[in-house]
Amino acid sequence: MVIDQHFGFIAFSWAAGIIGFAGIAFWIWRDRKALDTQLAELEGQGVDVSRAKEMS
């Protein structure tokens, strides 16, 4: 690939792709963390979490 005058457009496009993928992956990961925290809280309250634990 040659670096020509359109390099900026190409770079920004692929950056948008990377940011998009990273963004959705991060969002899913953060959701997972929040759910695990909720699970830990429920466990702390003495709720039976064994069925949920077999899911995580």
Partner 1 sequence: MGILDYANPTRVMRFSRAVKPWFLGLGLITLAVGLYGAFVTAPADYQQGETIRIMYLHVPMAWLAMMAYSMMALSAIGTLGFKHPMADVSAKALAPIGATFTAICLITGSLWGKPMWNTWWVWDARLTSVLILFLVYLGIIALWQAIEEPIKAGKVTAIITLVGAINLPIIKFSVDWWYTLHQPASVFRVDGPTIYPAMLYPLLICAAGFTLVFFYLHFAAMENELKRRRIRAMQMRAARRVAPEQPTLPQGSTA
Binding-residue total with partner 1 (CB under 8 A): 37
Position 5: which residue type?
Answer: Q
The least CB distance from residue 7 to partner 1, in Å, is: 7
Q: Rounded to an integer, what distance in angstroms lies between the CA atom of residue 52 and that of residue 37?
A: 13
By CB under 8 A, tell whether 54 contacts partner 1.
yes
Q: Rounded to an integer, what distance in angstroms lies between the CA atom of residue 42 and that of residue 9?
A: 49
Number of residues that this document lists for the chain: 56
By CB under 8 A, tell whether 26 contacts partner 1.
no
By CB under 8 A, tell whether 21 contacts partner 1.
yes
The least CB distance from residue 26 to partner 1, in Å, is: 11
